[in-house]
Amino acid sequence: MENKKLLSMTGFGRKSADFPWGTLNLEISSVNHRYQEITVRLPREFSSFEPILISRLRSMLGRGKIRLSAEILWNPEYKMAAIDSALLGGYWKQLNRIAEDVGSVQNISFTGLLSLPGVCDTQRDSDIEKAAEEAIISMLEELIDSLVEMKLKEGQSLAKDILLQLESFSGIIDLIKDEWQDVIPEALANSRARLEKFLAEVAGGVSADPARLAQEIAILSDKWDISEEIVRSRSHIDKFREMIREETPVNDKKTENAGIGRKLDFLIQEMNREINTMGSKMQNARLRWQVVEAKSCLERIREQIQNID
């Protein structure tokens, strides 16, 4: 079954549109991050609009370091700055008065006063600014659609690679299970020989009691038996496949798998715990090497999971 819901945290989108008042450019990117971190960069005149955009992004997207930037290239008639003549005259009078007080004979240039606060300001009709705000919202939703589409495609590629690694891990678990059955008689014989020698030494050469010997072997076998770890590993593998391949409908903007990356990460930790326990119980060199191979598969899966929303 093909994965329909896994999202990568990596994506990028750019959109541009022309309007009577100018050209609006929007760009959005998302990269890996443990949590959701949103940064918005807007033209100065729309800085008050930032909380609304952040709220929309937070509700539409999942984990990742998300950056949104907007740029407006105003048409000349809307870009022209208006000069506040009253304020400019006030500055000029104050500076002339100060020049007289200090005995300065320098001529004060009007051009030099244009950079003073409030003298030049871009005046736009409120309806035009409202239209620009509405355009940003509308384009943002379209941009998020394309971003999510890219994240879904990347998620499908991640899912394929993860499932391949999971199949390798599953094969190693099966191999360990089969080879473990073959080494059990040898392990029991070795344990019996060691116990017989130990008990004979303790008893001063007297033959060990068979019942006592059987009891000690049973206790010892519990310490190296890996059947429970194998059963739990198989269960974790089945659950992992279910989570990866489960077909879930996709919402308009955000899939219902929010947080699946964290769930898979937790599951990988449990799988690592089981394989580590197996390794600690095994003495057979060939089986211990299989454990190393299994841990390598899990590490490759874990690295890919870090890219999942």
Q: What is the distance between the alpha carbons of residues 200 and 209, in angstroms, rounded to a whole number?
A: 10
Residues 187 and 258 in one domain: yes
Residues 103 and 62 in one domain: no
Per-residue pLDDT of the chain (309 residues; tens, 9 = 90+): 444 467 888 888 899 999 888 889 999 999 888 888 999 998 877 787 888 899 989 988 888 899 999 988 887 766 555 666 677 677 778 877 877 777 766 666 666 666 666 656 655 566 777 888 888 888 998 899 889 889 888 888 899 999 999 999 999 999 998 888 877 777 667 666 766 676 666 555 555 566 655 565 555 555 667 888 999 999 999 999 988 876 444 444 444 444 688 889 999 999 999 999 988 887 778 888 999 999 999 999 999 988 887
pLDDT score for 257: 43
Residues 205 and 295 in one domain: yes
Residue 18, beta-bridge partner list: 23
The answer to whether residue 168 is domain-embedded is: yes
172, 238, 296, 302 from 282: Cα distances, Å? 15, 24, 18, 24
Q: Which domain holds residue 22?
A: 11-78+126-150
pLDDT score for 20: 85
Stated pTM of the model: 0.65
Residues 161 and 289 in one domain: yes
Closest CA to 144 of 13, 38, 55: 13
Residues 140 and 159 in one domain: no
The answer to whether residue 236 is domain-embedded is: yes
pLDDT score for 69: 92
Residues 178 and 242 in one domain: yes
Q: What is the distance between the alpha carbons of residues 86 and 76, in angstroms, rounded to a whole number?
A: 24
Domain containing residue 21: CATH number = 3.30.230
pLDDT score for 291: 92
pLDDT score for 100: 76
Joined together, the tokens standing for residue 178 give 């089969």
Residues 100 and 193 in one domain: no
The answer to whether residue 3 is domain-embedded is: no
Which residues does 229 contact at the CB level (< 8 Å), separation at least 6? 274, 275, 277, 278, 281
Quote the number of domains for the chain.
Answer: 3
pLDDT score for 167: 94
The answer to whether residue 285 is domain-embedded is: yes
- Specify whether the CB–CB gap between 67 and 29 falls below 8 A: yes
- Half-sphere exposure of 108 toward its Cβ, with a 13 Å CA cutoff? 17
Closest CA to 45 of 139, 133, 137: 133
